[in-house]
């Protein structure tokens, strides 16, 4: 299969500008710069490209939400926070093909009229940030980035900004707050970043893999991009498969690829020939699927129909020996730890969830505690400032609902 | 903080469209240099950047990679999220704890090591993972951890 996001990664020295250029790199940028910026926006809109950071919002549509007046400063931010447990796809792009991201980002900046951009990368990815900084310097030296890009008169300067260990800073408005030197507390929306983002200016935030898909779309045209995947979920996804599989790793496949195939063929099946118990299909925030629910296609709509989400495409595979209450305990602890504490339903809700699940897992709980977990999850849903509360409630709530007998066995 | 750090921070401030954006990089710089951020440095930073002390403290206390308490010169963090703990991360934490004779949140008497658990490090495909200061180690095992700790001890002896 032709690759969009991982076509360079097995080439020796794939991080270097020379290799990137030899393989057709920065051709898309040249092409984009020769087109009116509105045309670039419409090509991306036509491709149907949707965000790869978890929410799946159409990129072209987001760009069209920016105010028409282009005179005020506007910003483009690449979200490389990658904090969702089970997710390790963006790092592959940055580590092995940084220029793909830089090119995609520079094209997007030209399209929306941003002169300044930031790549917000999680602090723990220090060595990857260094790869990126090196690549950026190279790109600037050769005129692919910076003040006068390829003598076009267009300017786009990128800064690498390191996070400092906070999951919530992946939420785009918390990320903006963090870039402004504050604690990562999501903003009340609206206004959305398109209207009021970094320093109060119009801002677009886009995931690494979303931006890295753009050079292909510009080079090959939206129709070729749409020949991958399926309606409403075009293109490919970098699936990160981890947990109890024989060959964990990052694999690029078209949207809509069967989850069963990804686990049993691509990732080599379950470790030690054990049976599958469950799969968390899109990062820890995605509601869990039971073993008999994995005969589905990995695209936005199919996963929603199955009661889960595609999320980040980070697939956590759990074998028959895994205790789901144990997983729920880890999830509850995670969300309680990462809640920014700003809104009550999330702050109190996640810590109460943790307390109850801990009690149940320690075999000190009661049936009433299980009911209370489910009630809490219902209360949290839809009542928090950002999507993290929902994520906690759906993630933990679904584990309890689908594997209730395991929780009950612990309290009897 | 020393003069070099101060100069570095002043330079950082000029790099961003708004000075506030230099706060997190400045805090990270102090963290990296001293292994933690002392209260005096927070005060000094608020003066250099002309930001309210409360604002500097609010940011400094929010992020898990910034520590307001002295940690060991080698701060070992063990991932305890779902994938790592299912793939032996949990036993790694207890192993290191026993080996160093400290629990989570503690520092060895010689100040060399401190230990903490941490949420997902983005290494789930290469689990279990640990981090020592800014270095990431993946597909880690008890033997590998032993090697790392012994190497540090030897280097620092
Ligand atoms: C709690 C939370 C954490 C998030 N973490 C990330 C992240 O690490 N990376 C990311 O790209 N998007 C993350 N998002 C989604 C962003 O808010 C935003 O939708 C995304 O960056 C937009 O880019 P995209 O449309 O290209 O996906 C997170 C959202 C929430 C609610
Ligand atoms: S769970 Fe440990 S790195 Fe993700």
Rounded to a whole number of angstroms, the distance from the CA of B119 to the nearest CA of chain A is 7
Q: Are residues A137 and A268 in the same domain?
A: no
Give the whole-angstrom CA distance, residue A337 versus residue B117: 12
Q: What is the CATH number of the domain that holds A384?
A: 1.20.1440.230
Class of residue A152 by CB neighbours under 10 A (exposed 0-12, middle 13-18, buried 19+): middle
Q: Which residues line ligand 2 (CB under 6 A)?
A: A 85; B 79, 81-84, 120-124, 127, 129
Complex ipTM over 0.90: yes
Q: What is the CATH number of the domain that holds B122?
A: 3.40.30.10
A71: phi then psi, degrees, rounded to nearest 5: -75, -35
Segments of chain B with pLDDT less than 50: none
Q: Are residues A291 and A396 in the same domain?
A: no
- Contact B144/B136 with Cβ under 8 angstroms? no
- Among B15, B63, B86, select the one facing A164 at the smallest CB separation: B63
Give the whole-angstrom CA distance, residue A147 versus residue A154: 7
Give the whole-angstrom CA distance, residue A270 versus residue A281: 15
Nearest CA to ligand 1 atom 28: A171
Write out the two tokens for A14.
């794939």
* pLDDT score at A1: 73
Closest atom of ligand 1 to A208 CA is: 11
Give the whole-angstrom CA distance, residue A225 versus residue A209: 14
Q: Is residue A3 part of a domain?
A: no
Q: What is the CATH number of the domain that holds B23?
A: 1.10.10
Segments of chain A with pLDDT less than 50: none
For residue A178, CA distances in Å to A171, A332, B13 come to 10, 24, 15
Ligand sitting nearest the alpha carbon of A313:
1
Mutate: best of B45, B59, B77, B83, partner A, most A CBs <10 A: B83
Q: Are strands A116-121 and A75-80 parallel, antiparallel or unpaired?
A: parallel
Write out the two tokens for A168.
């919530």
Partner-chain contact B125 A248, CB within 8 Å: yes
- Contact A310/A301 with Cβ under 8 angstroms? no
Q: Are residues A106 and A125 in the same domain?
A: yes
Partner-chain contact A124 B65, CB within 8 Å: yes
CA B6 to chain centroid, in Å, comes to 21
* pLDDT score at A156: 97
- Contact B59/B23 with Cβ under 8 angstroms? yes
Give the whole-angstrom CA distance, residue B91 versus residue B98: 10
Q: Is residue B69 part of a domain?
A: no
Range of the domain at B54: 3-62
| Orientation angle between helical segments B142-156 and B90-100, nearest 10 degrees | 30
Q: Is residue A308 part of a domain?
A: yes
Ligand sitting nearest the alpha carbon of A87:
2
User: Which chain A residues contact residue B22 at CB under 8 A?
Assistant: 181
Partners of B136 in the β-ladder:
B131
Q: Are residues B56 and B99 in the same domain?
A: no
Closest atom of ligand 1 to A79 CA is: 11
Q: What is the pLDDT of residues A28-62, one digit of tens each?
A: 999 999 999 999 999 999 999 999 999 999 999 99
Q: Is residue A88 part of a domain?
A: yes
Q: What is the pLDDT of residues B23-61, one digit of tens each?
A: 999 999 999 999 999 999 999 999 999 999 999 999 999
Q: Is residue B80 part of a domain?
A: yes
Q: Are residues B115 and B144 in the same domain?
A: yes
Partner-chain contact A164 B22, CB within 8 Å: no
- CA torsion sign for A180, A185, A186, A188 is negative
Partner-chain contact A162 B24, CB within 8 Å: yes
Give the whole-angstrom CA distance, residue A252 versus residue A274: 25
Cα A311 to middle of ligand 1, angstroms: 9
Q: Is residue A11 part of a domain?
A: no
Give the whole-angstrom CA distance, residue B81 versus residue B89: 9
Partner-chain contact A166 B63, CB within 8 Å: yes
Q: Are residues A160 and A25 in the same domain?
A: yes
Q: Are residues A219 and A269 in the same domain?
A: no
* pLDDT score at A270: 98
Residue A341, SS3 per DSSP: coil
Cα B113 to middle of ligand 1, angstroms: 34
Q: How many CB atoms lie within 10 A of CB A73?
A: 16
Long-range contacts formed by A146-152: CB under 8 A, 24+ apart: A149/A29, A149/A33, A149/A106, A149/A110, A150/A29, A150/A30, A150/A33, A152/A33
Q: Which of A54, A84, A165 to mutate to test the pocket of ligand 1 (most atoms within 8 A of CB)?
A: A54
Q: Is residue A2 part of a domain?
A: no
* pLDDT score at A83: 96
Q: Which of A62, A81, A83, A170 to mutate to test the pocket of ligand 1 (most atoms within 8 A of CB)?
A: A170
Residue A257, SS3 per DSSP: coil
Into how many domains does chain B fold? 2
Range of the domain at A81: 17-227
Q: Are residues A202 and A90 in the same domain?
A: yes
Letter string b/e over residues A272-302, b meaning 16 or more CB atoms within 10 A of that residue's CB: eeeebbbbbbbbbbbbbbeeebbebbbbbbb
Q: Is residue B43 part of a domain?
A: yes
Into how many domains does chain A fold? 3
Q: What is the pLDDT of residues A70-119, one digit of tens each?
A: 889 999 999 999 999 999 999 999 999 999 999 999 999 999 999 999 99
Give the whole-angstrom CA distance, residue A203 versus residue B89: 39
Ligand sitting nearest the alpha carbon of A175:
1
Q: What is the CATH number of the domain that holds A78?
A: 3.40.50.11540
Class of residue A332 by CB neighbours under 10 A (exposed 0-12, middle 13-18, buried 19+): buried
Q: Are residues B22 and B56 in the same domain?
A: yes
Q: Are residues B30 and B56 in the same domain?
A: yes
């Amino acid at each position: 299969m032709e690759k969009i996001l991982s076509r360079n990664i097995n080439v020796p020295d794939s991080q270097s500008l020379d290799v990137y250029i030899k393989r057709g790199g920065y051709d898309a940028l040249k092409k984009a710069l020769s087109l009116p910026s509105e045309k670039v926006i419409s090509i991306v809109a036509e491709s149907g490209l949707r965000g790869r950071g978890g929410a799946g919002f159409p990129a072209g549509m987001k760009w069209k939400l920016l105010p028409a007046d282009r005179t005020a400063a506007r910003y483009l931010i690449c979200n490389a926070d990658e904090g969702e447990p089970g997710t390790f796809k963006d790092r592959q792009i940055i580590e092995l093909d940084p220029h793909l991201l830089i090119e995609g980002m520079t094209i997007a900046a030209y399209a929306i009229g941003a002169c300044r951009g930031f790549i917000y990368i999680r602090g723990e990815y220090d060595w990857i940030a260094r790869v990126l900084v090196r690549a950026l310097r190279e790109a600037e030296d050769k005129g692919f980035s910076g003040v006068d890009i390829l003598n076009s008169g267009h300017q786009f300067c990128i800064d690498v900004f390191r996070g400092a260990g906070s999951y919530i800073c992946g939420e785009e408005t918390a990320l903006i707050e963090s870039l402004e030197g504050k604690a990562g507390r999501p903003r009340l929306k609206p206004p959305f970043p398109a209207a009021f983002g970094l320093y109060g200016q119009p801002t677009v935030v886009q995931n690494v893999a979303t931006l890295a898909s753009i050079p292909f779309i510009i080079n090959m045209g939206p129709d070729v991009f749409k020949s991958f995947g399926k309606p409403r979920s075009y293109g490919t996804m970098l699936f990160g498969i981890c947990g109890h599989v024989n060959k964990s790793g990052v694999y690029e496949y078209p949207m809509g690829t069967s989850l069963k195939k990804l686990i049993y063929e691509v990732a080599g099946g379950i470790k030690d020939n054990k049976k599958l118990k469950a799969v968390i299909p899109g990062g820890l925030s995605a509601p869990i699927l039971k073993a008999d629910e994995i005969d589905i296609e990995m695209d936005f709509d199919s996963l929603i129909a199955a009661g889960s989400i595609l999320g980040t495409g980070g697939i956590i595979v759990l074998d028959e020996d895994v205790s789901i209450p144990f997983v729920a305990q880890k999830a509850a602890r995670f969300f309680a730890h990462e809640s920014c504490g700003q809104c009550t339903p999330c702050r109190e809700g996640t810590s109460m969830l943790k307390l109850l699940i801990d009690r149940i897992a320690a075999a000190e709980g009661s049936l009433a505690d299980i009911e209370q977990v489910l009630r809490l999850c219902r209360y949290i849903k839809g009542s928090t400032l950002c999507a993290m509360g929902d994520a906690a409630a759906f993630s933990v709530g679904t584990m309890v609902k689908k594997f209730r007998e395991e929780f009950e066995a612990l309290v009897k | 903080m020393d003069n070099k750090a101060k100069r570095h921070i002043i330079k950082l401030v000029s790099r961003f469209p708004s000075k506030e954006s230099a706060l997190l990089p400045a805090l990270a710089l102090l963290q990296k240099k001293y292994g933690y951020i002392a209260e005096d440095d927070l005060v000094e930073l608020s003066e250099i950047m002309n930001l309210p002390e409360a604002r500097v403290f609010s940011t400094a206390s929010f992020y898990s990679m910034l520590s307001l308490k002295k940690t060991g010169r080698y701060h070992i963090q063990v991932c305890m999220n779902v994938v790592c703990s299912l793939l032996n991360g949990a036993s790694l934490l207890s192993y290191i704890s026993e080996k160093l004779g400290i629990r989570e949140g503690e520092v060895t008497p010689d100040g060399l090591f401190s230990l903490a658990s941490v949420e997902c490090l983005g290494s789930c495909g290469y689990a279990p993972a640990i981090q020592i200061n800014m270095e990431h180690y993946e597909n880690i095992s008890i033997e590998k951890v032993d090697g790392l700790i012994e190497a540090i001890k030897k280097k620092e002896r």
